[in-house]
Amino acid sequence: MRIATWNINSIRTRVDRVLAFLERSEVDVLALQETKCRDDQFPTAPFEEAGYHLAVHGLNQWNGVAVISKYPILEVQIGFPGQPEFREVVEARALGVTVDSPAGPLTVWSLYIPNGRELDDPHYTYKLDWLAQLKSAATGWLTTDPNALIALVGDWNVAPEDVDVWDMGFFEGKTHVSPPERAAFAAIGEVGFTEVTRPLVTNYTYWDYQRLRFPKNEGMRIDFVYASPALAKRVSAAEIDRNERKGKGASDHVPVIVDWD
């Protein structure tokens, strides 16, 4: 079984790339972030014609999350319990989809954690609150069912370690690397989830479009996969598909893939 996460930075712009990736990679469940469209604008037909099941959640041209699955979808959850608002709106940043996988019901959360913008911006406080509420929800899921198969995947907008950015000096005083953000990211692991890609693969997952960041390999590692205890023990391999950042029309993020027994 293969699960992947990918900040696609507009699904309507890159639908052909996603379809080609699915065919080439043989991924079973793909979580997307930054789909950047309303539900009625999502290009569902090409995926359904290819035999996939879909769940999508988008409110406007910002944010947006989706899950594309080879397995039948059993349940869809829009947002998690306690998900914070920003300017009185619960943004389209979290979608939980339970699929009928060979291992049993598997819940994949496609998560697009807020950027934070600047350390003194209200969006930064929102980001920390968002992660704190996600931790609370994740605690509840494991308390309810310690053996649940749950994957929390997506663009976390946090570089947890210094090696996850190309130059710590460049990021001094900026978001993504601040101690509170790193602590909030690590807190998901403190409640029983395990970030499963770190021991298996090393690479960046994001390169800005500006200043030739990708050719210079000046990137960030901000896309991760947290797994519940019952799921984490099934991990067999992981991959960061750097080639997806190449060519015309690439997203600024690349897919992160995890194999499970």
pLDDT at 99: 98
The verdict on whether 204 is a catalytic residue reads: no
Answer yes or no: are the C-beta atoms of 196 and 232 closer than 8 Å.
yes
Cα–Cα nearest to 6, from 77, 65, 69: 65
Task: Say how far apart CA 155 and CA 111 lie, in whole Å.
Answer: 6
For 242, counting Cβ atoms within 10 Å of its Cβ (0-12 exposed, 13-18 middle, 19+ buried), the class is middle
155 is in an annotated binding site: yes
φ, ψ for residue 174, nearest 5 deg? -110, 170
Q: What is the pLDDT of residue 28?
A: 98
Q: State yes or no: 157 annotated in a binding site.
A: yes
User: 39 labelled as ligand-binding?
Assistant: no
Residue keyed to tokens 């019952």: 230
Q: Write down the pLDDT at residue 13.
A: 97
The reply to whether 253 sits in an annotated binding site is yes
Which of the following is catalytic: 28, 52, 53, 112? 112
Which DSSP category does 83 fall into? P
Strand order in the sheet with 104-112: 73-78, 94-101, 104-112, 149-155, 223-227, 194-195
Q: Would you call 155 a catalytic residue per the annotation?
A: yes
Spot the catalytic one: 155, 164, 223, 241. Answer: 155
Q: Is 252 marked within a binding site?
A: yes
Calculate the alpha carbon distances from 161 to 182, 218, 260 in Å: 8, 15, 25
Q: Tens-digit pLDDT profile for the chain (261 aa)?
A: 999 999 999 999 999 999 999 999 999 999 999 999 999 999 999 999 999 999 999 999 999 999 999 999 999 999 999 999 999 999 999 999 999 999 999 999 999 999 999 999 999 999 999 999 999 999 999 999 999 999 999 999 999 999 999 999 999 999 999 999 999 999 999 999 999 999 999 999 999 999 999 999 999 999 999 999 999 999 999 999 999 999 999 999 999 999 999
Residue 175 burial (C-beta neighbours within 10 Å; 0-12, 13-18, 19+): buried
pLDDT at 141: 98
Is 112 catalytic? The answer is yes
Residue 23 assigned as binding residue: no
pLDDT for 194 equals: 98
Q: What is the pLDDT of residue 243?
A: 97
